Amino acid sequence: MSGNNFFKPNNFSYLFLMNYSGKFRFLTIFAVAVILFIHPGCKPKYSNDTGTFRINFPLGIETLEPVMSNSPQTIWVLTSIMEPIVSYNSKNEIIPQLAKEWKISEDGLRYYFTLNTKIIFHNDKCFPEGKGRKIKASDIKYCFERVNDPGTKTRGLWLFRDKIRGAQEYYEAKKNKNGVNEIEGIKVTSDSTFIIELYKPFAPFLSLLTMSYAYIYPREAVEFYGENTAVHPVGTGPFRFENWELDKKLTLVKNPDYYEKDSAGNKLPYLDKIEISFTKSVETEFLDFLNRRYDYHEPSSEIIDALTDEKGNMIKADEKDYKLVKQPWLNTVYLIMIQNENLPAGKTSPFVNNKKLRQAINYAIDKQKIVRFVLRNRGSAAVNGPLPPGMPGYDTAVKGYRYDISKARELLKEAGYPDGKGLSLTLVISNDELQKNIAIAVQEQLKEAGIDLQLEQVLQSALNTKQQDGEYAFTRGNWGADYFDPENFMALFYSKNIIPMGPNKTGYTNPEIDRLYEESIKETDFAKRKEIYNQMEIIVIEDAAWIYLYYNQRIYLLQNNVKGFYLDGLNNIVLKYTKKQ
């Protein structure tokens, strides 16, 4: 089948059914079940408790230990229980949270914080008489040092180790069980004030402090619960932990002492309770959502296809008791090309020292068609740079690659592969069906340029490991933001971050990019930093450091009676403003 015919809707439908042949009978039966459940004559099976927000986590929760919080499910729960010293508002601006104010030295090396010491920890039996106490500056030092202590099984070591003065030395001392007993760059000057000193200026430092690794909790809870700290978190947030029946239900209840209020002076949160269940079947969860057992649901690709038309809009939306929400997600999907001969795959990778080949493939891929016919508009074509829409610094004036098959053929010839002769590529992807369909589309499009592309599927866990080891020359990658700062994306092009030392999985190097990156992290004026980042984007686009595919979207279903629900661009669920009517 030719590349032109591949994207005719009827042929794509055939391909879709072919790829899903094992599931098609099930989906047909499932679609009938859905129709029965959404029939106007059917009444919801579950009562509508307006004080409780119910959600299901089909993947479960591994831990509620902040220093190990690297999964969305863990972060979602901790966001309701604990808080950082600074946070983001809905406009992605850094605002005070536990810290009421701060200032930064002119050289960008010292951060002076003052805490809001009226804030108290949740009432919990780890405290005398079960009554929570006020937060203190020593709590911040304690929590940040735990992030750098290998004995805590921390997964957030990278956060502070090369940034806060003494963090590296503290880590080494704890690892070797000798020497340093504290991080010298965190200085408690009173119960309400502390100073953080950096090795060198790092402009996005405040952004790091918003992450779940940097959430604050009392020493008393860790000492009281010991290894059970991971299943009994204590914080200052709008909800407090009540109970966790592993693999069954986790319950959070309103914190009656929470300090924040809405614009009208009403105490937050509005909800009385959050209940999280762990049904593993997404299809069962969807049916339960239709019966109003859940207030929120992330539908599978199959369910989205059943609910939406070819433009991605929900069918008969005005007849539904729920809405389909699409919003930008700070996540860019791209193809990784190994460009460094020092990496294992670099010894045979055709992308090493061949910019024209990398450019040719970028021009040969029609991202718009992939978004329209494969993703069914669940995302947008990555026609700009690596920064996705919604990320501060994103600029439509930065132009990426557009589909141009003639240009692709021309560059392919200049790269030493006329009409693709002599070039054979293998793209390694996970066993995810959507990834497979995208890869098939890429395969068909590259065939138009004469490129023979083979596909290899492996388990996602194996793909992650091999990517981190640099063992695949050509593979699918994506990057989602950890915080609202473009540095988090541009760090992927910094040569000192080449795997395994950091997230640069392509092995891309460019001395000018390194110079600009190092300049950017010293610049505290964001407008000036944006100019630097956009300049970097233009360079990495010209160098074809990535093959840009699409910018991801978050798609979810929400019951119509839920108001004030907030899912931020980092994929964090925020429920302190949520109410049900």
pLDDT in tens, 335-359: 999 999 999 999 999 999 999 999 9
Same domain, 511 and 371: yes
Report yes or no on 235 lying in a domain. Answer: no
Same domain, 518 and 373: yes
Q: What is the CATH number of the domain that holds 353?
A: 3.10.105.10
What's the whole-model pTM score?
0.81
Question: Pairing relation of β-strands 193-197 and 186-188?
Answer: antiparallel
Which element (helix H / strand E) includes 137? helix 137-147
Answer whether 240's CB lies under 8 Å from 255's CB: yes
Total domain count, the chain: 2
DSSP one-letter string for 323-392: EEEEEEEEEEEEEEE---TTSGGGGT-TTTT-HHHHHHHHHH--HHHIIIIISTTSSEE--S-SSPTTST
Same domain, 388 and 521: yes
Report yes or no on 294 lying in a domain. Answer: no
Residue among 547, 537, 539, 507 at smallest CA distance from 382? 547
- Would you call the peptide bond into 218 cis, given omega within 30 degrees of 0 as the criterion? no
Pair of tokens at residue 223: 């000492």
Same domain, 215 and 339: no
Same domain, 332 and 459: yes
Which element (helix H / strand E) includes 226? none
Same domain, 387 and 516: yes
Write down the pLDDT at residue 44: 58
Same domain, 415 and 534: yes
Same domain, 207 and 352: no
Same domain, 335 and 470: yes
Report yes or no on 371 lying in a domain. Answer: yes
Report yes or no on 469 lying in a domain. Answer: yes
User: Rounded to whole angstroms, how far apart are CA atoms 246 and 358?
Assistant: 48
Report yes or no on 257 lying in a domain. Answer: no
Question: pLDDT truncated to tens, each residue of the chain (581 aa)?
Answer: 333 333 333 334 334 433 433 343 344 435 534 543 544 445 556 666 889 999 999 888 989 999 999 888 899 999 999 999 999 988 888 999 999 999 999 999 999 999 999 999 999 999 999 999 999 999 999 999 999 999 999 888 888 988 999 999 999 999 888 878 999 999 999 999 999 999 999 999 999 999 999 999 999 999 999 999 999 999 999 999 999 998 899 999 999 999 999 999 999 999 999 999 999 888 899 999 999 999 999 998 778 888 988 778 899 999 999 999 988 889 999 999 999 999 999 999 999 999 999 999 999 999 999 998 888 888 999 999 999 998 989 999 999 999 999 999 999 999 999 999 999 999 999 887 788 999 999 999 999 999 999 999 998 778 888 998 999 999 999 998 989 999 999 999 999 889 887 789 999 999 999 999 999 998 888 899 999 999 999 999 999 999 999 999 889 999 999 999 988 888 899 999 999 99
> Above pLDDT 70, what percent of the chain?
92
Number of Cβ within a 10 Å radius of residue 186 = 24
Report yes or no on 410 lying in a domain. Answer: yes
Same domain, 382 and 525: yes
Give, as one character, the DSSP assignment of residue 474: E
Residue among 548, 572, 556, 547 at smallest CA distance from 378? 556
Range of the domain at 133: 84-219
Answer whether 122's CB lies under 8 Å from 233's CB: no
Report yes or no on 254 lying in a domain. Answer: no
Report yes or no on 232 lying in a domain. Answer: no
Q: What is the CATH number of the domain that holds 97?
A: 3.90.76.10
Last residue of a domain, one of 199, 219, 239: 219
User: Rounded to whole angstroms, how far apart are CA atoms 146 and 452?
Assistant: 51
Residue whose token pair is 């408790």: 49
Same domain, 365 and 494: yes
Helix 21-37 / helix 9-19 crossing angle, nearest 10 deg: 100
- Classify residue 208 by burial, with Cβ atoms within 10 Å: 0-12, 13-18, 19+: buried
Read off the pLDDT of residues 18-59 as tens digits, 9 standing for 90 and up: 343 334 334 443 553 454 354 444 555 666 688 999 999 988
- Classify residue 427 by burial, with Cβ atoms within 10 Å: 0-12, 13-18, 19+: buried
Same domain, 410 and 534: yes
User: Rounded to whole angstroms, how far apart are CA atoms 279 and 293?
Assistant: 12
